[in-house]
Amino acid sequence: MAQGLLKTKEVYSWPSKFYYSLESIVLTLAFMALLRIKNPEQLKQCKPGEIGRVIGLDRIPEVRCLRRKIDLLTRQNQATHLNTILVDSWYRGDSSRDAEFLYIDGHVRIYYGSKANLPVKYVSRQKLCLSATTEYWVNDAQGLPVMMVMGELTEKLQTVIEHQIIPQLQQTRLLSRQPTGDNVPICTFIFDREAYQPAFFHRLWEKYKISVITYRKNVKDKWADECFKSFAVSVLQQTVNMQLCEHGTHLGGYWFREIRRQSETGHQTSIVTTHPTLELPFIAGRMFGRWSQENFFRYLIEDYDFDKMVSFGIEPVDPEKEIVNPPYRKLTHQIKKIREKIQRLEARFFPLMQMTMDRDIDDLPVITNRQMEYKEKIDFLKKHEAELLDLRSEIKPRLKVCQMPQQERYNKLKTESKVLMNVIKMISYRAESSVAQWMAPYLAKAENEKRMVVKQIIQSPADLSPDYENKTLTVTLHSLSAARYNYAASELTKLLNQTETIFPGTDLKMIFETTANLNYER
């Protein structure tokens, strides 16, 4: 509730005649996420009465009823607006500092069905090109999710940032505030090489007062070893000693700060930024801390299964949207593969010319035959390459979706239900992270155990005891698997009791207790 779950009441309309209120439905969806129940169909394997008590009713909705309620919410198309309201509630006061640095990356969601006609994307985790859609996520400096936008076809990250992410963030206080000085950016975006383009970085600074930190592409020179100095860098709450150096550089006609880290093997990793005032170790720490977003993706895939489809069906895409012509792309791929084969053959052919000068005359026939063999293959491939180039020259490189043949025209999966469930999972993940952070001071191995203890608390039995006269609802947690976990849980109950939370839809104040024996010495 502190993460804004009941903000849904400000966004969605709900008929009063329904037995299940809006609070009951969003509580059900949130508890499904926390209990790792992947979809409504898996509710059949749960005891409806027990989970029903958790939401304050005699039973949870059955599958068909819950799907109808989800459909009612998705038809209102308010998930993006809900996300915008939540961003403002998450980042107020001191917490807004976590949003001064935002990590942006795309997550490819593979489609295994046959109903939708989706473009092919490269899936790095499987090293394959598969039909997929891309979700573009924004996370704060702590790795917590801020917002997400859904890609339609094959948009570049630069396009998504400028035309989807920035306009949505401008509706929140994160980008609507005025800069405090000429050299102070409103916000700093951190992303990988996918969005690398010096002109794009310059445009973000000049137009939006947004600085960037990213890796530099195509680095061919090396800086002298004596330029590097040792710095203590904070990366993901750990201090690491790094060899760093900074110089100014011109890329694409624009000036940037370039920072390089030298590893023990001598490899130099180059970082560029448009932020004018950040200190050298801080820039390196933020860039290498980008793994917090990768860790977030991995955790949600394994625990929340957030690639799961929520509702089935397809929707049309914008017919005026320009895309790369599929036949043109196919021919380009074939040309690329042929050129790779030619390069490999030439790498074997040209050394043979040197061998003819160094070997005895008796060995020349063998070498000459091999040269002729390679030459024939190279000539054949070059002829085939020329044919493909001629064929490609007759095809338009780009076209609109409406110009595609009807049976091959791209469409997209239903997006609104997926965005809504992603917002619910954001709230659940942030709530879980907040509780884990509260418990961290009471755990000796906090980094390794805090999330595991939270998940254990969620899965553990508890007693619910309402007292309507005194208007209280006592939640009594049963013993956990270790004494140190019980100690941390008891300290957590004290913190929760200070919030004096009222259970949604009632006037009962929640009181938390634990039955565990707390004879534990830290």
DSSP per residue over 78-101, as a string? -HHHHHHHHHHHHS-GGGGGGGGE
Rounded percentage of the chain residues whose pLDDT exceeds 90: 61
- Tell me: pLDDT of 228 over 60: yes
What's the start-to-end Cα distance of the chain, in Å?
A: 32
Q: Are 228 and 246 in contact (CB under 8 A)?
A: no
What pLDDT is recorded for position 360? 62
Per-residue pLDDT, 256: 94
pLDDT at 3 over 90: yes
Which is higher by pLDDT, 253 or 237?
253
Residue spans of the domains in the chain: they are 1-77, 80-304, 326-395, 422-522
Domain 80-304 class in CATH: alpha beta
Chain-wide mean pLDDT for the chain? 89
Determine the average pLDDT of the residues in 210-231: 93
> In whole angstroms, what is the distance from residue 422 CA to residue 417 CA?
9
366 compared with 150, residue with greater pLDDT? 150
Please give the biggest Cα pair distance in the chain: 109
Least confident of 163-167, 282-286, 517-521: 517-521
Residue with tokens 């140190």: 484
| pLDDT > 80? residue 420 | yes
What is the mean pLDDT of the segment spanning 455-480?
A: 93
Q: Which residues of 457-467 are buried (b: 16+ CB within 10 A; e: fewer)?
A: beeeebeeeee
Above 60 in pLDDT, residue 362?
yes
CB neighbours of 114 closer than 8 A, spacing ≥ 6?
none
CA distance 183 to 275: 8
d(C-alpha 207, C-alpha 185), whole Å: 11
d(CA 79, CA 107): 19
- pLDDT tens sequence across 96-148: 778 889 999 999 988 888 888 888 888 887 888 888 889 999 999 999 999 99
**pLDDT at res. 178:** 73
Q: What pLDDT is stored for residue 521 in this prediction?
A: 55
Beta bridge partners of 102: 189
Other CB atoms within 10 A of residue 240 CB: 14
DSSP label at residue 502: B
Q: Do 447 and 433 contact (CB within 8 A), yes or no?
A: no
